[in-house]
Structure formats: C-alpha cells, structure tokens
A and B are shown apart, each in its own frame.
Chain A
Amino acid sequence: MPTETHENPAPETIERVVREGQLDGAIVTCLAACEVEYDGRSGGYLGPGDRLVVAKPDGTLLVHRPSGHQPVNWMPGGATIKVEEDGGSALLYARRSNPNEYLRVYLHEPHLLTRFDADDTATYQERGTEAEMHEYIEQNPETAIEDGFRVVEHERESVYGYIDFFGKDAEGRPVVVEVKRRQATLNNVDQLKRYMGLYRESNPDVRGILVAPSASDRVQRALRDDGLEFVELSEFAVETRESSEKTLSDFL
C-alpha cells in the first residue's frame, strides 16, 4: 500500500504517521486549519487559516496557502521534523541547529492526513537550453557556423556584457557570434550591433553572426541592412509546450 489516509486525524495519529514517514522515507501531507510560527534568523507569525502542510522525508517542511507557487513558510531539507501534543491538538515542528531555527505549525483542525511512499528516481532533463547550443557550437564550430570557422574565445567579456563567441573565419577575419535559444528578435540584432561597434573601429572587416533556431523576415532584413549574418540552428527549435499558461518569453 503506497498510501495511507486519515480523515480528521487525532494528534496521536498525526504523531505516529509523521514519525513513521520520516523513518521510512515517505511524504506526509496534512490539509488543515493551522497557525504558523517561525523563530530563527528572524521571527514570524501567520494567523489561523486553511493550508496544505507537507513534510518530506529529507526533513523539508512546507506550508502552502491556497494560492501562490511558493510556500508561505518552509524549512529546507536537513531539519528534524516532529509532532507533539499541544493543548489537545497536534503541533508539527521542524528544527534546524545551524542556524538555530524553528518552524512550528499548530494543526488546530486537521482535515486530512496522508502518507505517500513515493518512488521517484527520474531526473529532470531540460531541453533546448542556450548552454546546450553553446556546447554544440564549441564542439562543432564548422558544422554549426560555417566551414573554416574556429572559436577563439567563448564568452569574451566586453563593456556591453559577455560576447557568446569570438572567432575567426577561414580568411582569418574576426567574427562576433551571438547565440539565442528562441526565435531571434530585433533586440538581439541591436545587441549584436553594439558588440560589433567594439570591433569595427579597429577592424572594419569584422563579421557579426546571429545564431538562433529561427528568425522572422523582419529580423533577417534588419541583419542584412546592417551587414550582419544569420545562422539558423533549427535543431534547437523548442517543441510546442502543451500548457494552458503561456509566458511572454514564448513569443520572443
């Protein structure tokens, strides 16, 4: 049985389930009307309200309110989580010694207590990051950019920030490369132009290349007008995410 649930659990039940969960490596959650106190580097108090309390076997304790993605109070992993009886109701607390801090959750009305023997060995793999594109260009400069291109410096510091790649082409001309993981924008063109300004003075032959999974006609035109080039790395085009909430970065 990977789960165990108790409706309106008594303080003794909460004490037992939390203690066993911590020992056996199970996640224990409690939906409850509770009050929260924090003592440590600072102090804090959260009055009564309905919340979701999560005790993870690594000693992480989280208190979630009905909205928001972050817990309102938490104790990171490594804390000791225990339950004591406090005036007829359960007091769930987490303590850490360095720094010395306490998170106390007074479970006045615990509605539902669950134990979940969760088994999760997968690791999260993020796809299409800019770091992956950098690695690909560094290892395959000629396939990624053009024949004869070699990287002189990865992430060269400049007054305007880090230039992704500074290289030389087959003819020995300096090349400034700016890498973007999403569809290239006019802002990216401006950024590349700023970098070019640093080199054009001393060497008018310097070339500028914007690398991205794709670029609109408008962006390609802007690049052409400024004598810059575009290299498409379409293998890094981001897959469409099946999600109801889009963010503005999805449209950059």
Chain B
Amino acid sequence: MFKAIVSAETLKTTLDSVSVLVDECKVHLDEDGIEIRAVDPANVGMVDLRLSAEAFESYEADGGVIGVNLSRLEDIAGMADSGQLVELELDEETRKLHIQIDGLEYTLALIDPDSIRQEPDIPDLDLSAEVVIEGKDINRAVKASDMVSDHIALGVDASDELFYVDAEGDTDDVHLELTTEQLIDLQAGDARSLFSLDYLKDMNKAIPADAEVTLELGEEFPLKIKFPIAEGQGSVLFVLAPRIQSD
C-alpha cells in the first residue's frame, strides 16, 4: 500500500537527484519514508536518497518496492506549477501509479523492479578530510573547471588548512582555494583525488545553491557529497569513483 501527497518542488528535487545518474530506479516505499539507491551503468557514480515521511503533506506506506521510469515521472511532475500538490497512489493489482495534479490524472505504468539494475553497496570508506561548503561554491568551481578541462582535482591541504580545486587543460588552468573562513567547516587531512567533470557536472545540477554540502575526500579515493533536501526532511548522498592519475 502506498498513498502520498507531496509538493511539486520536493518531488522534482527528489527525481532530479537520481535522474542525473540513471534513467530508471527502484523506489523503496517504507513506513517512515522512501529510499532510492542507484548506480550509473559504468559503476562510477551512485546516489543514495532518503526522503522521510515528514517531507510529504501526507504519507502512508507499508513497505514494498516499485520500479520507476524517471524521465516519465519527471515529465509528469513538470506539469505541476510550483506550490501545487501531487497526489500519488499505487494500484497494487495493476502495478500502476496513479498521479493527480489539480484535476489532471495520469496513470504511470511501473517497471518490474527485478528488471532494474541491482542496487549498489555503498563503499565503506575511511576518508581523511571533510569539507562543509555552500552549494554555490561547488557550482562556481565546477563551472570554471569545465571551461578548461574534462576532469577536476579536489584536495585538502592539511597544513595550510584549505580546500582547493585544480583543473588543468591543454592550454589554460583553473585553480581555486577556499580557506576555513570561506568554508562552513573543514576537518583537515591530506587528500587529493581526480574526478571526471562529466559526472560532477551532473551531480552539481542536483545540488541547491544555498545547501550546506558536506564533501568527504581521500587520497585517490571516491568522493562523497552529502546535502539535505526538502528543508532537511530528506538527504542525498552521491559517491563518485576517482580517476587515477597516470604518470
């Protein structure tokens, strides 16, 4: 059983965070909220999203998993104006999701969850540095780096207590340093890893400019990006595998 009412913004934010990596996903409809965990086909980027029941106007579920075509559901959510409410109800018998937006009724055929790529294990990592930064600063770093290169190095200098971004292109370079005054928080430990900008750009799209984003970094280790959604009633974790620098 699943029946919920949610604001269009919350629904869109949720879908956007996952659709930057995959086209379809499994959605766990637990009693206390929903969880989505998915990994992109190349197994380089993954997302773990939780949205608690409090993020909904009303929420009733008793466990169960549905398979969803994200772009289809995003299109439907796009029909709602901001401030409008979206009603979702699962028809167990037909395995379809009934969606209502201000009189508009849409019946969405669901995907058999067994036909969707298996949900990934979250790597259990001991990362040496943690940076808390504003979403808009990540956006700035990613945007500038994208002008010169297709990959980006993120690092923490433990002795100088700063977080830095390096992008080296064929001709031009970008470098950005943020000190503890410019960051919300920094738990310094030496860290530096190289990442594909393609992935980071996509993940960046899902990060709100005003969000407090926690980055966890290591030496040639995956990057963890955590931020709250739905006014803190939900959270998104992205994990991105590094590129290893060839000498």
10 pairs from A and B in contact (CB 8 Å cutoff):
A185-B123, A244-B245, A245-B196, A246-B241, A247-B44, A247-B241, A248-B44, A248-B45, A248-B46, A251-B222
Question: Does any Cβ of A come within 8 Å of B3's Cβ?
Answer: no
What mask results when residues 214 to 252 of chain A are scored 1 for a CB within 8 Å of chain B, else 0? 001011000000000000000000000001111111111
Q: What's the count of A-B pairs with C-beta under 8 Å?
A: 54
Determine if B147 is an interface residue (Cβ-Cβ < 8 Å): no
Known: A251-B221, A251-B222. A245 touches B243 (CB 8 A): yes
B221 / chain A contacts, CB cutoff of 8 Å = 251
Chain A residues within 8 Å of B, Cβ to Cβ: 185-188, 216, 218-219, 243-252
* A161 CB to nearest chain B CB (Å): 11
Q: Is the CB of B123 within 8 A of A252?
A: yes
User: What is the bound-complex CA distance between A139 and B222, given in angstroms?
Assistant: 37
Q: Chain B interface secondary structure, helix, strand, loop or mixed?
A: loop
Q: Tell me if B43 and A251 are in contact (CB < 8 A).
A: no
Contact yes or no, A246 B125, CB < 8 A: no
Q: Which B residues lie within 8 Å of A188 (CB)?
A: 121
Contacts from B to A (Cβ < 8 Å): 39, 42-46, 120-126, 196, 221-222, 239, 241-246
Q: Are B243 and A186 in contact (CB under 8 A)?
A: no
The residues of B that contact A244 with a CB separation of less than 8 Å are: 243-246
Contact B124 A186 (CB under 8 A): yes
Q: Assess whether A252 is in contact with B121, with CB atoms less than 8 Å apart.
A: yes
> How far apart are A64's CB and chain B's nearest CB, in angstroms?
17
| With contact pairs A243-B244, A246-B243 given, residues A219 and B124 touching in the complex (Cβ less than 8 Å) | yes
- Contact across chains for B124 and A218 when beta carbons are under 8 A apart: yes
User: In the complex, what residues of A have CB within 8 A of residue B39's CB?
Assistant: 248
- Bound state CA distance, A246 and B122, in angstroms? 15
In the assembled complex, the Cα of A219 lies from the Cα of B125 at a distance in Å of 11
> Once the chains are docked, how many angstroms separate the CA of A246 from the CA of B196?
10
**Bound CA span A249–B122, Å:** 9
Please determine whether A246 and B124 come into contact, CB atoms closer than 8 angstroms: no
Q: Which of B42, B46, B126 contacts A216 (CB 8 A)?
A: B126
Complex alpha-carbon distance, A49 and B126, angstroms:
47
Select A185's contact among B42, B121, B126, B242, beta carbons within 8 Å. Answer: B121
Q: What residue in chain B is nearest A243 (Cβ atoms)?
A: B244
Residues of A within 8 A of B44 (CB): 245-248
B244 touches A246 (CB 8 A): yes
- 10 tightest A-B contacts by CB? A251-B123, A247-B43, A187-B121, A246-B241, A185-B124, A248-B241, A244-B243, A252-B123, A252-B121, A247-B241
Minimal beta-carbon separation of B199 from chain A (angstroms): 11
Residue picked from A185, A246, A248, A249, most chain B C-beta under 10 Å: A248
Contact indicator B123/A248 (Cβ below 8 Å): yes
Give the residues in chain B near A185, CB-CB below 8 Å. Answer: 121, 123-124
When C-beta atoms are compared, the residue in chain B nearest to A69 turns out to be B42
- A245 vs B241: C-alpha distance in the bound complex, in angstroms? 8
Alpha-carbon separation in the docked complex, A244 to B244 (Å): 5
From residue B84, how far is it (CB to closest CB) to chain A in Å? 37
Min distance, Cβ A136 to any Cβ of chain B, angstroms: 23
- Distance A137 CA – B216 CA, assembled complex (angstroms): 38
The distance from the CB of A86 to the nearest CB of chain B, in whole angstroms, is: 36
A216 surroundings in chain B (CB, below 8 A): 124, 126
Using known A-B contacts A243-B244, A244-B244, A244-B246, determine if residue A249 contacts B43 with beta carbons closer than 8 Å. yes
- Note all chain B residues with C-beta closer than 8 A to A245: 42, 44, 196, 241, 243-244
* Interchain CB contact (< 8 A) of A251 among B196, B241, B243, B245: B241
